[in-house]
Amino acid sequence: MANLKEIRNRITSIGSTMQITSAMKMVSAAKLKKAQDAITQMHPYATKLTELLQNLSATLDGEIGGDYTNERPVEKVLLVAITSNRGLCGGFNSSIIKATRNAALAYQKEGKKVSIITLGKKGNDLLAKEFDIFYHDFEIFNTLTFDNTAVIAEKIMKSFTAETFDKIELIYNHFKNAANQDVIQEQFLPIVSDASNGNDASSDYIFEPSKEEIILHLMPKMLKTQLYKAMRDSFASEHGARMTAMHKATDNAGALKDELTLTYNKARQAAITAEILEIVGGAEALK
Catalytic residues: 89
Distance CA 139, CA 234 (A): 15
Three-state DSSP class for 69?
helix
C-beta of residue 189 within 8 angstroms of C-beta of residue 160: yes
Fill in the amino acid letter for 70.
N
Q: Is the torsion defined by CA of 45, 50, 51, 56 positive or negative?
A: positive
**How far, in whole angstroms, is CA 113 from its chain's centroid?**
25
Q: Where are the beta strands (DSSP E) in 138-280?
A: 167-177, 180-189
Task: Report which of 76, 218, 73, 72 is spatially closest to residue 159, judged by C-alpha positions.
Answer: 76
